[in-house]
């Protein structure tokens, strides 16, 4: 049933044209619900964190993304995190689905922090991305990015003023499956961070 107040939006790209028609009340309800989920993700992260940066300073952000990595909703956390997180999620989707890679499977969780290649903001901001599946298909992604006080490098704090390249600032993670098919990859992440 068409209403006068319905929102009509045309989105076009070179291959297809899609017309989206939504009831503004329903749109508002879902937008607030999705934002509420992102806010709850943040509360849970703060409650369960060991890191002072996350637990007390609240230096983290949480958001939900479409199955291709587009931003759906974010909690009002740290703006610099949120601005780059969509790029980080999209990079992981493209990276793991590219030819010769193992793809994205149920039980996988990705970790990344690389600012030049993988949508990171700076090395101490580590992003964790989880695909959410239903009946074998990815419905959406959830992601959180948190600031860590030390990620290695030539001096404590991972932001040495005299570094001349990114390697001197700490561990660089372009794409790694922190959890693979439901199994935590402790040895692999330890090798990256040591």
Within 8 A by CB and 6+ apart from 89, the residues are 65, 69, 119, 129, 141, 143
Q: How far apart are CA 119 and CA 92, in angstroms?
A: 9
* Residue owning tokens 């969509």: 86
Spell out the SS3 assignment of 13-34. CCCCEEEEEECHHHHHHHHHHH
| Phi, then psi, of 121 in degrees rounded to 5 | -95, -45
Question: Residue 150: helix, strand or coil by DSSP?
Answer: coil
Q: How far apart are CA 42 and CA 144, in angstroms?
A: 8
Residue 172, Cβ neighbours under 10 Å: how many? 19
Q: What is the DSSP letter of 77?
A: S
Q: Which pTM does this prediction carry?
A: 0.82
Q: Over the stretch 14-43, which tens digit does the pLDDT of each residue have?
A: 566 666 677 888 888 988 899 999 999 999
110: left (phi over 0), alpha (psi -120 to 50) or beta: beta
The pLDDT profile of the chain, 194 residues, written as one tens digit per residue, is 555 555 444 445 556 666 667 788 888 898 889 999 999 999 999 999 998 888 888 888 999 999 999 999 988 877 776 778 899 999 999 999 999 899 999 999 999 998 888 888 888 889 999 999 999 999 999 999 998 888 888 788 777 788 888 888 888 999 999 999 999 999 999 999 88
Q: How far apart are CA 23 and CA 36, in angstroms?
A: 20
């Amino acid at each position: 049933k068409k209403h006068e107040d319905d929102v009509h939006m045309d989105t076009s790209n070179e291959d297809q044209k899609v017309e989206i028609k939504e009831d503004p009340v329903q749109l508002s309800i879902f937008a607030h619900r999705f934002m509420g989920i992102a806010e709850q993700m943040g509360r849970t992260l703060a409650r369960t964190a060991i890191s002072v940066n996350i637990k007390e300073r609240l230096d983290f952000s949480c958001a939900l993304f479409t199955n291709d990595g587009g931003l759906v909703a974010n909690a009002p956390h740290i703006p610099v995190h949120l601005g780059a997180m969509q790029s980080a999620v999209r990079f992981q989707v493209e990276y793991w689905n590219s030819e010769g890679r193992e793809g994205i499977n149920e039980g996988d969780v990705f970790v990344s922090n690389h600012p030049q290649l993988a949508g990171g903001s700076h090395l101490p901001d580590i992003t964790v991305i989880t695909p959410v599946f239903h009946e074998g298909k990815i419905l959406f992604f959830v992601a959180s990015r948190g600031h860590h006080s030390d990620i290695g490098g030539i001096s404590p704090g991972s932001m040495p003023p005299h570094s001349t390249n990114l390697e001197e600032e700490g561990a660089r993670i372009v794409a790694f499956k922190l959890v693979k098919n439901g199994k935590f990859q402790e040895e692999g992440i330890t090798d990256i961070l040591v």
